[in-house]
Amino acid sequence: MVARPVVHGPSTTIGQLRAFFADEHVHMALLADGGKLLGTVERADLARASSDETLAREVAKLAGRTIGPDVPMQEALAAMRRTGRRRFAVTSDTALLGLLCLKASGDGFCSDEDVDARSEQPL
Protein backbone atom coordinates (compact mmCIF):
# COMPACT_ATOMS: atom_id res chain seq x y z
CA MET A 1 0.00 0.00 0.00
CA VAL A 2 1.11 3.53 -0.73
CA ALA A 3 0.74 5.27 2.64
CA ARG A 4 1.59 8.71 1.24
CA PRO A 5 -0.56 9.01 -1.89
CA VAL A 6 -1.13 12.30 -3.65
CA VAL A 7 -4.32 13.81 -2.24
CA HIS A 8 -6.39 16.61 -3.73
CA GLY A 9 -8.57 18.96 -1.72
CA PRO A 10 -12.32 19.54 -2.02
CA SER A 11 -11.89 22.59 -4.27
CA THR A 12 -9.91 20.69 -6.93
CA THR A 13 -11.28 21.22 -10.43
CA ILE A 14 -11.63 18.91 -13.40
CA GLY A 15 -8.98 20.97 -15.20
CA GLN A 16 -6.51 20.35 -12.40
CA LEU A 17 -7.21 16.62 -12.53
CA ARG A 18 -6.80 16.55 -16.32
CA ALA A 19 -3.25 17.82 -15.73
CA PHE A 20 -2.74 15.25 -12.94
CA PHE A 21 -3.85 12.43 -15.25
CA ALA A 22 -1.29 13.48 -17.89
CA ASP A 23 1.07 11.11 -16.06
CA GLU A 24 0.36 7.66 -17.51
CA HIS A 25 1.09 6.06 -14.12
CA VAL A 26 -1.86 7.86 -12.54
CA HIS A 27 -5.09 5.87 -12.49
CA MET A 28 -7.03 7.40 -9.61
CA ALA A 29 -7.22 10.80 -7.95
CA LEU A 30 -8.14 10.94 -4.27
CA LEU A 31 -10.24 13.84 -2.99
CA ALA A 32 -10.00 14.36 0.75
CA ASP A 33 -10.55 16.96 3.40
CA GLY A 34 -8.92 16.74 6.81
CA GLY A 35 -8.03 13.07 6.31
CA LYS A 36 -11.59 12.16 5.29
CA LEU A 37 -11.97 10.63 1.84
CA LEU A 38 -14.60 12.57 -0.11
CA GLY A 39 -14.37 10.60 -3.34
CA THR A 40 -12.20 9.14 -6.05
CA VAL A 41 -11.90 10.17 -9.68
CA GLU A 42 -10.68 8.03 -12.56
CA ARG A 43 -9.93 9.23 -16.10
CA ALA A 44 -13.28 8.03 -17.42
CA ASP A 45 -15.10 10.15 -14.82
CA LEU A 46 -13.70 13.34 -16.37
CA ALA A 47 -15.95 12.93 -19.41
CA ARG A 48 -19.01 13.55 -17.22
CA ALA A 49 -17.83 17.07 -16.32
CA SER A 50 -19.34 20.03 -18.14
CA SER A 51 -16.13 22.11 -18.04
CA ASP A 52 -12.62 22.29 -16.64
CA GLU A 53 -13.94 24.62 -13.92
CA THR A 54 -16.33 21.96 -12.60
CA LEU A 55 -15.41 20.80 -9.11
CA ALA A 56 -13.96 17.29 -9.28
CA ARG A 57 -16.10 16.15 -6.36
CA GLU A 58 -19.14 16.49 -8.65
CA VAL A 59 -17.97 13.44 -10.64
CA ALA A 60 -16.20 11.62 -7.78
CA LYS A 61 -17.31 8.20 -6.58
CA LEU A 62 -16.68 6.02 -3.55
CA ALA A 63 -18.77 2.92 -4.28
CA GLY A 64 -16.61 0.07 -5.56
CA ARG A 65 -13.42 2.09 -5.22
CA THR A 66 -12.50 1.59 -1.58
CA ILE A 67 -11.23 -1.30 0.47
CA GLY A 68 -10.70 -1.80 4.18
CA PRO A 69 -7.27 -2.15 5.75
CA ASP A 70 -8.00 -5.65 7.05
CA VAL A 71 -8.85 -7.23 3.69
CA PRO A 72 -6.27 -9.95 2.91
CA MET A 73 -4.08 -9.17 -0.11
CA GLN A 74 -5.32 -12.21 -2.04
CA GLU A 75 -8.92 -11.00 -1.66
CA ALA A 76 -7.92 -7.49 -2.72
CA LEU A 77 -6.10 -8.88 -5.76
CA ALA A 78 -9.13 -11.02 -6.67
CA ALA A 79 -11.41 -7.98 -6.39
CA MET A 80 -9.08 -5.95 -8.62
CA ARG A 81 -9.02 -8.65 -11.26
CA ARG A 82 -12.79 -9.15 -11.06
CA THR A 83 -13.52 -5.43 -11.48
CA GLY A 84 -10.65 -4.55 -13.82
CA ARG A 85 -9.32 -1.96 -11.35
CA ARG A 86 -5.71 -1.42 -10.41
CA ARG A 87 -6.41 1.05 -7.60
CA PHE A 88 -8.45 1.04 -4.40
CA ALA A 89 -8.49 3.79 -1.79
CA VAL A 90 -7.80 2.18 1.59
CA THR A 91 -10.21 3.52 4.18
CA SER A 92 -11.35 2.89 7.71
CA ASP A 93 -14.86 4.32 7.99
CA THR A 94 -14.27 7.52 6.01
CA ALA A 95 -10.62 8.03 7.00
CA LEU A 96 -8.17 7.78 4.09
CA LEU A 97 -5.32 5.46 5.06
CA GLY A 98 -3.60 5.02 1.70
CA LEU A 99 -3.87 3.72 -1.83
CA LEU A 100 -3.60 0.10 -2.87
CA CYS A 101 -1.94 0.02 -6.29
CA LEU A 102 -1.50 -3.08 -8.40
CA LYS A 103 1.69 -2.90 -10.45
CA ALA A 104 1.28 -2.87 -14.23
CA SER A 105 2.85 -6.34 -14.35
CA GLY A 106 0.06 -7.59 -12.08
CA ASP A 107 2.51 -9.42 -9.84
CA GLY A 108 2.71 -7.15 -6.86
CA PHE A 109 1.60 -3.96 -5.20
CA CYS A 110 3.23 -0.53 -5.31
CA SER A 111 4.91 0.91 -2.25
CA ASP A 112 5.91 4.42 -1.20
CA GLU A 113 9.47 3.51 -2.21
CA ASP A 114 8.33 2.56 -5.72
CA VAL A 115 6.50 5.87 -6.12
CA ASP A 116 9.46 7.83 -4.77
CA ALA A 117 11.87 6.05 -7.13
CA ARG A 118 9.65 6.73 -10.15
CA SER A 119 9.35 10.43 -9.29
CA GLU A 120 13.16 10.70 -9.17
CA GLN A 121 13.54 9.37 -12.70
CA PRO A 122 14.08 11.96 -15.46
CA LEU A 123 11.21 12.43 -17.89
Residue 2 counted as domain residue:
no
Decide: 18 and 46 in contact? Cβ < 8 Å: yes
- Domain holding 86, by residue range, is 7-120
Predicted pLDDT of residue 119: 67
Residue 87 counted as domain residue:
yes
Predicted pLDDT of residue 5: 95
Residues 3-55: tens digit of each pLDDT: 999 999 999 999 999 999 998 889 999 999 999 999 999 999 999 998 999 99
CATH number, domain with residue 71 = 3.10.580.10
Predicted pLDDT of residue 108: 85
Q: For the chain, how many structural domains are there in total?
A: 1
Decide: 99 and 90 in contact? Cβ < 8 Å: yes
Torsion angle (degrees, nearest 10) of CA 76, 100, 106, 42: 110
Q: Coil, helix or strand for 62?
A: coil
Residue 1 counted as domain residue:
no
Burial label, 21 (beta-carbon count in 10 A; 0-12, 13-18, 19+)? middle
Residue 116 counted as domain residue:
yes
- Strands, E, within the chain: which ranges? 7-8, 29-33, 36-41, 66-67, 87-92, 95-101
Average predicted confidence (pLDDT) for the chain: 92
Predicted pLDDT of residue 123: 52
pTM of the model: 0.91
Q: For residue 115, is pLDDT > 80?
A: no
Per cent of the chain over pLDDT 90 is 78
Residue 68 counted as domain residue:
yes
Q: For residue 56, is pLDDT > 80?
A: yes
Decide: 47 and 38 in contact? Cβ < 8 Å: no
